[in-house]
Every structure is written in structure tokens, then in C-alpha cells.
């Protein structure tokens, strides 16, 4: 029996409204709450992604030799290159440094690294 169930991940943000708009466009999730200090998106299956304003926020950077990234999101897509182009068009960044051919590391507008992965590899 599980002790807890994951319901939400919250990301630090330098601009909550910008990050809410970016991730809403990428994931298609509903905007449940949006203000300058905090925002939240919710998925159809009950998961949530939150954004909290942190004054003086500094992005973890990519590549990250010091391990200060701590975690990242993996998003399943059908076409890596097409999805990467779409995310860049929405305000994301595709760094030159890429770790392999089966995924793409991108940065959201606040600099959080996340990966696009082939949906077929998830079964």
C-alpha cells in the first residue's frame, strides 16, 4: 500500500503568468489558477503543475555538471523534431548540447530543462 499519491509538481518561476501560458500551450491542460505570485494547471486525469514566484530566481542551466537541476519532466511525443519546433515556437529553447538521439532536452521560459521523448518507447 502506498503512503502517498503524487498529485502536483510545483516549479520555481521568475514569471508565473508567462510560465502558465507556456505550459498550458505545451500540455493543453486547463488553467486552474493564475496570478502574479502563483499559478496552476490541471490535467484531465487529476494531476497538477504549479508555478511559484521566486524573487531572484536563477535557472539551473544546461548542461548541468554540478547536479543543481535536481529533476526534470519527461514528455512523450510522436515526433521529436516536430514537437521540439513547436515548443520553441511557444517560447522554449532548444540548447545545442543534446545527450542523445532518442530524446530532446529543451528549456522552458524560466530555464527549467525538460525532455521530449518518443511516445512509442513508453509502451
Q: Which residue has the cell 521529436?
A: 80
Q: Percentage of residues in the chain with pLDDT exceeding 70?
A: 96
pTM of structure: 0.82
Each residue's pLDDT tens digit, 92-110: 999 999 988 888 999 999 9
Residue 89 CB burial class (10 angstroms; 0-12, 13-18, ≥19): exposed
Each residue's pLDDT tens digit, 54-94: 999 988 888 877 777 677 898 999 999 999 999 999 999 99
Amino acid at each position: 500500500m502506498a503512503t502517498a499519491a503524487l498529485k502536483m509538481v510545483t516549479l520555481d518561476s521568475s514569471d508565473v503568468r508567462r510560465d502558465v501560458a507556456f505550459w498550458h500551450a505545451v500540455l493543453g491542460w486547463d488553467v486552474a489558477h493564475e496570478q502574479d505570485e502563483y499559478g496552476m494547471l490541471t490535467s484531465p486525469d487529476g494531476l497538477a503543475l504549479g508555478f511559484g514566484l521566486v524573487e531572484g530566481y536563477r535557472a539551473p542551466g544546461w548542461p548541468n555538471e554540478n547536479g543543481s537541476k535536481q529533476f526534470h519532466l519527461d514528455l512523450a511525443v510522436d515526433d521529436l523534431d516536430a514537437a521540439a519546433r513547436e515548443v520553441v515556437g511557444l517560447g522554449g529553447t532548444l540548447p545545442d548540447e543534446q545527450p542523445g538521439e532518442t530524446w530532446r532536452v529543451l528549456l522552458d521560459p524560466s530555464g527549467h530543462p525538460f525532455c521530449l521523448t518518443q511516445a512509442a518507447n513508453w509502451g
